[in-house]
Amino acid sequence: MTFINYANREINCKIVYYGPGLCGKTTNIQWIHEQANPEKRGKLVSLATETDRTLFFDFLPLDMGMVKGFKVRFHLYTVPGQVFYDASRKLILRGCDGVIFVADSQRARLEANIESIANLATNLKENGFDIRTIPYVLQLNKRDMPTAAPVAEMEELLRFRGEPVIEAVAFKGTGVIETLKAAARQILMELQKN
Amino acid sequence: MAKLDLVMFEEEFSQLQAIIGKLQIECSAKVVFLVDKNGQQIAASGDVKSIDATSLASLTAGNVAATDGLAKLIGEKEFSLLFHEGEKDNLHISIVGKRGILVVLFDMNSSLALVRLRVKKASRELQEIFERVEERAQLHANESARFESPFSEITDDDIDKLFGD
B71 touches A: beta carbon within 8 Å:
no
Comparing alpha-carbon positions, the chain B residue that sits nearest to A47 is B59
B140 vs B74, more confident:
B74
Write the residue in B36, B39, B154 that is nearest to A68 by C-beta: B154
B150: pLDDT strictly greater than 80? no
Q: In the 8-state DSSP scheme, what is residue A106?
A: B
The full set of domains in chain B, from first to last, is: 10-162 (3.30.450.30)
Residue A173 sits at the chain B interface (C-beta within 8 Å): no
- Contact status, residue A80 vs residue A102, Cβ threshold 8 Å: no
Out of B7, B55, B154, name the one closest to residue A4 (CB).
B7
Q: Round the average pLDDT of chain B to a whole number and report it.
A: 85
pLDDT value of residue A180: 94
What pLDDT does residue B151 have? 63
- Sheet architecture: strand order including B100-106: B41-46, B31-36, B100-106, B90-96, B81-85
Interface contact A82, partner B, CB < 8 A: no
**pLDDT > 90? residue B125:** yes
Contacts of A153 (CB under 8 A, 6+ apart): none
**Mean pLDDT value across residues A70-77:** 90
How far away is chain A from the Cα of B113, in angstroms, using its nearest Cα? 31
Contact status of A129 with chain B (Cβ, < 8 Å): yes
What does the pLDDT read at residue A194?
A: 66
Pairing outcome for strands A70-78 and A54-67: antiparallel
Is beta strand A98-104 parallel, antiparallel or unpaired with respect to A10-18? parallel
Instruction: Specify which residues A167 forms β-bridges with.
Output: A140
Q: Cβ distance A103 to A158 under 8 Å?
A: yes
Backbone angles phi, psi at B99, to 5 degrees: -135, 5
Over residues A63-69, mean pLDDT: 82
* pLDDT for residue A166: 97
pLDDT at residue B165, as a whole number:
47
Q: Which percentage of chain B shows pLDDT scores above 90?
A: 48
Indicate the residue of A75, A87, A184 with minimum beta-carbon distance to B58: A75
- Are A26 and A54 contacting, i.e. CB atoms less than 8 angstroms apart? yes
Q: Which pLDDT band holds residue B146 (cuts at 50, 70, 90)?
A: very low
Parallel, antiparallel or unpaired: strands A98-104 and A136-141? parallel
- Provide the CB-side half-sphere exposure for A50 (13 A, CA): 0
Contacts of A95 in chain B (CB under 8 A): 3, 36-39
**pLDDT above 50: residue B2:** no
Q: How far is CA A186 from the centre of its chain?
A: 13
Q: B66 vs A14: CB contact, 8 Å cut-off? A: no
What's the average model confidence in pLDDT over B101-115? 94
> How far apart (Å, rounded) are the C-alpha atoms in residues B60 and B20?
17
Residue B107 is predicted with a pLDDT of 94
Q: How confident is the model at residue B143 (pLDDT cuts 50, 70, 90)?
A: low
CA B50, CA B137: separation in Å to the nearest integer?
33
Report the share of chain B in percent with pLDDT over 70.
Answer: 82
Higher pLDDT, B160 or B25: B25
Provide the pLDDT confidence category of residue A32 given band limits of 50, 70 and 90. very high
CA A154 to chain centre: 18
- The residue that leads in pLDDT, B78 or A151, is A151
- B1 and A5: CB-CB below 8 Å? no
Buried b (16+ CB within 10 A) or exposed e, B64-74: bbebbeeeeee
Residue B155 pLDDT > 80: no
> What crossing angle do the helices spanning B112-142 and B10-26 adopt, rounded to 10°?
180
Supply φ then ψ for residue A151, to 5 degrees: -60, -40
- In terms of Cα–Cα distance, which of A4, A1, A96, A69 is closest to B7? A4
Instruction: Report the greatest alpha carbon distance in chain B.
Output: 55
pLDDT in tens, A137-168: 999 999 999 999 999 999 999 999 999 999 99
CB B107 within 8 A of CB B90: yes
CATH of domain A3-193: 3.40.50.300
Q: Can you tell me the distance from the alpha carbon of B4 to that of B39, in angstroms, rounded to the nearest whole number?
A: 16
Mutant choice from B5, B20, B56, B144 vs A, greatest count of A C-beta within 10 A: B5
Residue-wise pLDDT tens digits, A79-135: 988 888 888 899 899 999 999 999 999 999 999 999 999 999 999 999 999 999 999
The pLDDT assigned to A84 comes to: 83
What pLDDT score was predicted for residue B153?
65
3-state secondary structure of B75: coil
| Contact assignment for B162 to A64 by CB distance below 8 Å | yes
Chain A residue numbers with beta carbons less than 8 Å from the beta carbon of B7 are 4, 6
* Top-ranked range on mean pLDDT: pick from A183-192, B102-111, B127-136: B102-111
* Burial class of B115 by CB neighbour count within 10 A (0 to 12, 13 to 18, 19+): buried
Cβ separation A11–B150 shorter than 8 A: yes
Where residue B35 falls among pLDDT bands split at 50, 70, 90?
Answer: very high
Does residue B62 belong to the interface with chain A, where contact is any CB pair within 8 Å?
Answer: yes
Closest to B57 (Cα-Cα) out of B108, B14, B6, B15: B6
The SS3 call for residue A146 is coil
User: What is the CA A165 to chain-centroid distance, rounded?
Assistant: 13
H runs (alpha helix) in chain A = 25-35, 86-92, 110-126, 151-158, 176-193
Q: How high does pLDDT run on average in chain A? A: 91
Please state whether A191 falls in left (phi above 0), alpha (psi between -120 and 50) or beta. Answer: alpha
Query: Which one is predicted more confidently, B60 or A1?
Result: B60
